[in-house]
Structure formats: structure tokens, C-alpha cells
Amino acid sequence: MMTDEQIQREQREILDEVRALGDGIRSLEKRLDNLEAMYETNETDEEEYETDNSIKSCIKNTMNNFDFAKVHRIMEFLDWKWHIQGNVDDGVYEVPSVEKLKEEALTLLNAAFRDTKEKEFDSYGFRESIAATGGLKAWACESRDEGNFCELQFVAEEWREEPV
């Protein structure tokens, strides 16, 4: 037979497990939402770039070689949070997961390439664009003769002095 104290301890343990399961479920739901968003983005990208394999290859290689886990660790260390939901003043902010970083990076790379399409080639035969948010910076460049280039950066500090 269990004492009242043992029963209360067992009840607290069960409640703690239920809370942990709830947190785990919410975490899994967020991951699922992120994956679904990435899938939708990939579907759109496939359609948009189906005739330009060099852009798809450039984005794929960049995504495969960029160290998202390192960026995530840095953001955790700096407690660098992104706005996740709600309004800006009292919404939810958290350090983005690796999956969220990948999702945003893919969106930025595609946006940068989309923006290059709206520009004219310069006198050297290039047109380029940048898309950035939350420390991630995507650069895309199309060349008449040399193919496509892209770059993804995580920028924590930057300064540029312009001539006056």
C-alpha cells in the first residue's frame, strides 16, 4: 500500500511526464510545419526553375554545404531570437531551429534569384541581387557567359563606409 506522500509524488511525476509530452508534441508540430513549408517552397522552386538547372544546382549545393548547425549554435550562444508568431510587441520569440534556418535560407536564395530576373545585365554581363533577414544574407548572381553564382552568409556584424 502506498502512502499519501508516495501517491502525491507519483501524481507529480505523471503530471511532469504529461507536460513533457505536451512540449514534445508542440515541438514536433513546429518541425512538421517547417517541413511542410519547406516542401511547399521546394515545389514552387521546382516549377519556377524547372528550365534552369544551374540555378537549382547552385541553390542545392549552397544548402548542402552551408553549416546550419554552426549558425544555430552561435545563435543559441548569443540568444539571438527570431519573431515566431503574434505581434511584434508581445509575440513569441525563440532561437530558430536548424530546420527553420534552412527554410529561411532557401526562401532567401530563391528570392535573390527571382530578383535578378527583374534586373538588366550590367556592362560586364552580370546581374545580381541580395535578400537578407535575421542574420542570413543570400546573394545571387547570373552571368551571360559564366553561369550562376550564389552565396549564403550568416552576418553578425557589418560596416560599410561609403565615399562622400
Q: Where are the domains of the chain?
A: 4-154
Q: How much is the pLDDT for 47?
A: 44
What is d(CA 108, CA 130) in angstroms, rounded to the nearest whole number?
A: 8
Q: What φ, ψ does residue 125 adopt, rounded to 5°?
A: 90, 25
∠ CA 153-44-132, rounded to 5°: 25
Give the CA distances from residue 100 to residues 45, 83, 84, in Å, rounded to whole numbers and listed in that order: 17, 12, 10
Question: Cβ(98)–Cβ(69) under 8 Å?
Answer: yes
Grid look-up 508568431 returns 85
3-state secondary structure of 87: coil
Q: How much is the pLDDT for 42?
A: 54
∠ CA 77-105-90, rounded to 5°: 60
Q: How much is the pLDDT for 46?
A: 47
Question: Cβ(77)–Cβ(159) under 8 Å?
Answer: no
As a 3-state breakdown, the chain gives helix, strand, coil percent values, each rounded to 5, of 55, 20, 25
Q: How much is the pLDDT for 40?
A: 56
CA torsion 104→127→54→99, rounded to 10°?
-10
Q: How much is the pLDDT for 49?
A: 45
Residues of the chain with confidence (pLDDT) below 50: 44-51
Q: How much is the pLDDT for 29?
A: 66
Q: What is the pLDDT of residues 9-51, one digit of tens each?
A: 888 887 777 777 777 676 666 666 666 666 555 554 444 444 4
pTM check: above 0.75: no
User: Quick one: angle between helices 98-117 and 53-65, nearest 10?
Assistant: 150
